[in-house]
Amino acid sequence: MSERLRNVFQWPEFRPAWYLLVAAIAVFLVGVFELPALWVLTQTILLALIVAFTFLGIYKGATAERAAAVEHGELEGILASTVDALVLYDSRFRIVFWNPAAERLFKISARDALGHVISPQDMQRPAWCALAQVVFPTLAPRIVFQSKEGEFPQTIDLSLADPPLELRVITAPVQDAQGRAAVFIKVVHDRTPQIAALRSNIEFITVASHQLRGPITDISWALQVASEDRQLDDSIRPVIDNAYAASKNLIKRIEDLLDVARIEEGKVGYIFNESDIADFVGGVLAGVLPQARKTGIKLYFDRPSEPLPHVFIDEKRLSAAVTNLLENAIRYNVENGEVVVRVDQVPGQPFVEVSIKDTGIGIPPGAIPNLFVKFYRAENAVQAQTEGTGIGLFIAKNVIAAHGGEIKVVSELNRGTTMTFTLPTDRALVPQGEIGPEGFLL
């Protein structure tokens, strides 16, 4: 209490009280020294000051109270009309605010919610089960942290089983004058319809791709057998070879669609192992070297002179992603162009950086923000290569993100492009679960 009083005494609004105290002491001293005329004058002045300060204090208090009432009403109106559920509770987990959206989401009226103290035991009460998992996220069947644990505002995605809900929860504390969390605010966004629609689309892509892959594989196998027949007429062989190449290309596109579905559904299934990044990149480069030679593109690997810390990767998944980046650098290059690949340690950070620099057609500045969007292709890329799905970079970005890395692009139109991505050298920085491209819980 003494500390609280000291804080009050230091408020600027408390200064008039100190002035009155000084005046009262002055009156007391005048009375002690028996100065009647001065005593009367001083009393009169003091009384006038008291009346003035009292009137001013009442006026300020009334004005502040009316302003606070107006602000409170406006704030309540805003909070009540928001489409997201808002739940406020104090340090004892007692609910102090509950908006209509919270009533609709949790099926609990404000009359029942306000004043209720939330506890883990509410998991045993069907009506309060969902709310208990929102307030105590570790009780939920599935949770993905979209922000670092312990940092605020904290954003998490929850997947609840009963009732089936997909929620994004943002938590932020409101601090008191001493900097302690007095109230916690939870903003709960119901994403159940969004994710249901996404999963429906994923299911369609998956089923359609699986249905197509079987017949196309059979056709490809038949064309391969025909192309290997030595008795095949030379006039027909080019037709068979082209058809066989087209069938393999179609199978690859179907596999890409399945990869998109797996990424968005969270069923990629990464298996991380410790790996030497320089050896890994060298192996991927060896795989695309025949394509570079066929198109007349020079391929260089600026191998690091000193050993780098190991990374933790799924070699199969990451190899496919890096291969796609390299194939793009080759495909959209100019005649007799080149591609230079470097691997470096990020200074002062637990990451290595892989850069792929080409001398190709470049990317228009307006296209760069959409470059990793599913099915997007820049206009000059479409003109240079009519074939393409716009899926490869989408897959590459998500594979790298699943490894705990980031990818970025720097490009100059008609001068070339540099794709750079990072990979952590600390196992703790590799995500424990998979997060979809739109932040959906996987």
pLDDT in tens, 12-36: 655 666 666 666 666 556 555 555 6
Segment 231-254 mean pLDDT: 79
**With contact defined as beta carbons under 8 Å apart, do 395 and 260 qualify?**
yes
Residue 159 maps to a domain: yes
Residue 242 maps to a domain: yes
**Of the candidates 79, 96, 125, which is a domain's last residue?**
79
Whether 208 and 68 share a structural domain: no
CA gap 339, 285 in Å, rounded:
11
Give how many domains the chain has, as a whole number. 4
Residue 418's pLDDT is what?
Answer: 94
Whether 392 and 310 share a structural domain: yes
Question: Picking from 110-114, 159-163, 323-327, which range would have the lowest pLDDT averaged per residue?
Answer: 159-163
Number of residues in the chain: 442
Tell me: pLDDT of 249 over 80. Answer: no
Tell me: pLDDT of 439 over 50. Answer: no
**With contact defined as beta carbons under 8 Å apart, do 409 and 417 qualify?**
yes
- Rg value, the chain, Cα: 34
Tell me: pLDDT of 434 over 60. Answer: no
Residue 410 maps to a domain: yes
Query: Which residues pair with residue 147 across a beta bridge?
Result: none
Whether 309 and 379 share a structural domain: yes
CATH of the domain at 299: 3.30.565.10
Tell me: pLDDT of 295 over 70. Answer: yes
Residue 380's pLDDT is what?
Answer: 76
Segment 267-291 mean pLDDT: 88
Tell me: pLDDT of 299 over 90. Answer: yes
Tell me: pLDDT of 306 over 80. Answer: yes
Whether 172 and 220 share a structural domain: no
State the helix-helix crossing angle for 237-265 and 392-402, rounded to 10 degrees.
Answer: 40
Residue 380 maps to a domain: yes
Residue 436 maps to a domain: no
Tell me: pLDDT of 115 over 80. Answer: yes
> What value does the mean pLDDT of the chain take?
80
Question: Picking from 267-276, 337-346, 403-412, which range would have the lowest pLDDT averaged per residue?
Answer: 267-276
- Rounded to two decimals, what is the model's pTM? 0.55
- Residue 111 pLDDT class (50, 70, 90 cuts): very high
Tell me: pLDDT of 206 over 50. Answer: yes
Tell me: pLDDT of 388 over 70. Answer: no
Higher pLDDT, 99 or 211: 99
Residue 438 maps to a domain: no
Whether 131 and 256 share a structural domain: no
Q: Tokens representing 388?
A: 């393409």
Whether 379 and 421 share a structural domain: yes
**Of the candidates 265, 287, 308, which is a domain's last residue?**
265
Residue 182 maps to a domain: yes
- Residue 121 pLDDT class (50, 70, 90 cuts): very high
In 73-213, the DSSP E strands lie at: 85-90, 95-98, 142-145, 154-160, 165-175, 181-190
Question: Picking from 253-267, 297-311, 359-373, which range would have the lowest pLDDT averaged per residue?
Answer: 253-267
Number of alpha carbons in the 13 Å side-chain half-sphere of residue 290:
1
CA gap 380, 121 in Å, rounded:
60
**With contact defined as beta carbons under 8 Å apart, do 356 and 329 qualify?**
yes
Residue 441 maps to a domain: no
Other residues' Cβ atoms within 10 Å of the Cβ of residue 172 = 14
Whether 70 and 110 share a structural domain: no
Backbone φ and ψ for 281, nearest 5 degrees, come out as -65, -40
Whether 310 and 184 share a structural domain: no
**Of the candidates 14, 46, 79, which is a domain's last residue?**
79
CATH of the domain at 169: 3.30.450.20
Whether 284 and 421 share a structural domain: yes
Tell me: pLDDT of 138 over 50. Answer: yes
Residue 66's pLDDT is what?
Answer: 54
Segment 122-150 mean pLDDT: 87
Whether 32 and 111 share a structural domain: no
In 230-337, the DSSP E strands lie at: 273-275, 298-302, 311-313
Higher pLDDT, 31 or 315: 315
CA gap 196, 140 in Å, rounded:
19
Question: Picking from 37-41, 70-74, 102-106, 238-242, which range would have the lowest pLDDT averaged per residue?
Answer: 70-74
**With contact defined as beta carbons under 8 Å apart, do 375 and 386 qualify?**
no
Q: Which domain, by its residues, includes 325?
A: 273-429
Over the stretch 48-87, which tens digit does the pLDDT of each residue have? 666 566 656 655 655 555 555 545 555 455 556 678 999 9
Tell me: pLDDT of 90 over 80. Answer: yes
Whether 176 and 64 share a structural domain: no
CA angle 393, 395, 401 (to 5 degrees): 100
Residue 440's pLDDT is what?
Answer: 36
Whether 285 and 396 share a structural domain: yes
